[in-house]
Amino acid sequence: MEKSLDFVVDTYLGKNPSNCYVSRRSNIHLHSTITGSQDVKTSEYQNLETGEDEEEDDEKQQQQEVEDRLSALPDILCQHIVSLLSATDARRTAFLSKRWRFIWCACPNFTFDEREFHGRPPPLLQWHRSRQNFVRFVDEALEFRKKYYNDLSIDKFKVSMRFVEEVSSCLEKWIAFALERNVKELSIVAEMKDLISIAEFFHPFRVPYLLPKSVFTTKSIQCLELVFCDLSNVSGNPIDLPFLRSLDMINVHMNESILESILSGSPLLEKLNLSLVCGLEKIQISGERIKMLIVFKCLPLEEVVVKAPNIESFLFRGKRQNPDKIDISSCQKLKFLWLQRASNLTDDMLEEITRQNLSLEIMILSHCSALKNAVIHSPNLWMFVLFKCKHLSSAKIDAPVLRAFEYSGHMISFASLVSSNQLDAIIHLDGPDMCRRWYAKLKEMCASFDHCRTLWIRCEHDIDLIIPHEMRKRFLPQLHGLTDLKIHVRSGTMNLSQLEDGIRWIFPGLKNLYVESDGSTHHFQYYGAVGDAGPSWRKCRDFIKQERDRF
Cis ω before 300 (30° cut-off from 0): yes
Per-residue pLDDT of the chain (551 residues; tens, 9 = 90+): 444 444 443 444 443 333 333 333 334 333 333 334 444 333 433 443 344 455 555 565 555 554 557 677 787 788 778 877 766 677 778 888 777 877 888 888 888 888 877 766 665 556 677 788 889 989 988 998 898 888 888 999 999 988 888 889 999 999 999 999 999 999 999 986 544 433 433 444 456 899 999 999 999 999 999 999 999 999 888 999 999 999 999 999 999 999 999 999 999 999 999 999 999 999 999 999 999 999 999 988 999 999 999 999 999 999 887 778 899 999 999 999 999 999 899 999 999 999 999 999 999 999 999 999 999 999 999 999 999 999 999 999 999 999 999 999 988 999 889 999 999 999 998 876 656 688 888 899 999 999 999 999 999 888 888 888 888 888 888 999 999 999 999 887 778 888 999 999 999 999 999 999 888 888 998 864 433 334 444 444 454 455 455 54
Distance (Å, rounded) from C-alpha 160 to C-alpha 414? 49
3-state secondary structure of 253: strand
3-state secondary structure of 19: helix
Q: Which amino acid is at 171?
A: L
DSSP helix, strand, coil percent of the chain (3-state; round to 5): 40, 25, 35
Strand order in the sheet with 325-327: 282-286, 303-307, 325-327
Distance (Å, rounded) from C-alpha 401 to C-alpha 423? 9
Neighbours of 336 (CB within 10 A): 22
Q: 231 and 252 in contact (C-beta within 8 Å)?
A: yes
C-beta pairs of 64-73 under 8 Å, 24+ apart in sequence: 64/33, 64/40, 67/30, 67/33, 68/33, 68/34, 70/96, 71/30, 71/34, 71/96, 71/97, 71/99, 71/100
Distance (Å, rounded) from C-alpha 268 to C-alpha 258? 17
pTM (predicted TM-score) = 0.78
Q: 132 and 11 in contact (C-beta within 8 Å)?
A: no
Q: Which amino acid is at 84?
A: L
The DSSP code for 367 is S
Q: Which amino acid is at 305?
A: V
